[in-house]
Amino acid sequence: MVNLNIKFCGVEFANPTVLASGILGVTASSLKNVIRNGAGGVTTKSIWLEEHKGHRNPTMFGTENYFINAVGLSDAGIEKAVTETFPEYNDGKPAPIIANIVAAKIEDFGLLAEQISQCNPDIIEVNISCPNVEDELGKPFACVSGDAAKVTSVVKKALGGLTGGEKNIPIIIKLSPNVANIGEIAKACVEAGADGFCAVNTFGPGLVVDINTRLPILANKVGGISGPGIKPLAVKCVYDVFKATGKPIVGTGGVMTGEDVIEMMMVGARLVGIGTMVYYRGAEGFRKIVSEINEWCEKNGVKNLEEIIGTVKL
């Protein structure tokens, strides 16, 4: 028997797979369904203070190699999360839940963290890295270390202090891969009180053109790139953040199989975020991935998954 349990910032996960933010994570029943399909935990879609419209359709396009999306962070606002999504998820809560928050202004992250903490999420994930809302919000906070650090300290303060906080909810910062030195940004966040990271958000923005019409395929023209093609880039980002900080990381980007999960963990991920996989293998892909992890561990004499974290020979 392989032990797949993972402890992340003090929170116990039955296995390292976690639904990434923005995919199937809008209602409590869709989140619970992902757990029923084998995921170790879930992340909500990004939650705003107020309703946020997002971009016009078409917002997504995919090939066997990559996905491009410009959903544009559509959300009903925090009231719905506090009055519906969390109470429904917490009623018979099947596994840990990570609350992902997003804002246009630094101070708003503090208000969001304070309000969402009333719902007792296991972890708060701070999204400062979406690349498909630049027209609206400008360069993501995750692209400038001073801004990333400021958001981190505002959230920490809102939760009651720099060391764990009175409410004791760990906060992880969702980093952008679209920077010159992701390790430096991560270090600035740690100095400001980050407990860990989600690395990474989508790449880009990228552009896909319909050569018959000569028009961009997405209504927003550009979008963030995810899926199989980004995996080696995401793996390098996770390695860089692990090396720079040693903090717990939700390694995210292009993970499709159990072997991809193992690879992410070898470069330092404790948990592994999985999003676009669902469009290729369905929600039941989580169960298949968990059985692939088991199989690999059995074949390779790994009894406890914790053993492989950060063991890459580099």
Ligand X SMILES: Cc1cc2nc3c(=O)[nH]c(=O)nc-3n(C[C@H](O)[C@H](O)[C@H](O)COP(=O)(O)O)c2cc1C
Q: Kindly list the residues in this chain that would bind ligand X in the complex (CB under 6 A).
A: 20-23, 45-46, 60, 67, 69, 71, 73, 100, 127, 174, 201-202, 226-227, 230, 252-255, 274-277
Which residue has its beta carbon closest to ligand X?
A: 22
* CB-based burial, 216-245: b 16+ in 10 Å, e otherwise: bebebbbbbbbbbbbbeebbebbbbbbebb
Nearer to ligand X, 188 or 238 (CB): 238
Burial of 39 (C-beta count, 10 Å sphere; 0-12/13-18/19+) = buried
Catalytic residue (one of 9, 119, 130, 143)? 130
Rounded least distance, CB 163 to ligand X, Å:
25
Tell me the residue ranges of DSSP E strands in 28-142: 41-43, 60-62, 67-69, 97-101, 123-127
Rounded least distance, CB 229 to ligand X, Å:
9
Question: How big is the chain by its Cα radius of gyration, in Å?
Answer: 18
Nearer to ligand X, 201 or 245 (CB): 201
Rounded least distance, CB 301 to ligand X, Å:
28
Q: Nearest to residue 231, comparing CAs of 196, 259, 209? A: 259
Rounded least distance, CB 201 to ligand X, Å:
5
Cβ pair 222, 132 in contact under 8 A: yes
Question: Please, what is the angle between helix 258-266 and helix 231-245, to 10°?
Answer: 30
Residue partners of 314: CB distance under 8 A and separation at least 6 = 239, 267
Nearer to ligand X, 85 or 201 (CB): 201
Cβ pair 3, 26 in contact under 8 A: no
Rounded least distance, CB 298 to ligand X, Å:
25
Compute the C-alpha angle 144/148/151, nearest 5°. Answer: 140
Distance CA 32, CA 49 (A): 24
Nearer to ligand X, 35 or 126 (CB): 126
Q: Nearest to residue 198, comparing CAs of 223, 177, 216? A: 177
Rounded least distance, CB 20 to ligand X, Å:
3
Q: Would residue 9 show up in a list of annotated catalytic residues for this protein?
A: no
Distance CA 74, CA 132 (A): 12
Question: Which of helix, strand or coil describes residue 289?
Answer: helix
Nearer to ligand X, 9 or 60 (CB): 60
Supply the DSSP string of 82-102, one letter for each residue: IIIIHHHHHTT--S-EEEEE-
Nearer to ligand X, 61 or 160 (CB): 61
What positions carry a catalytic annotation?
130
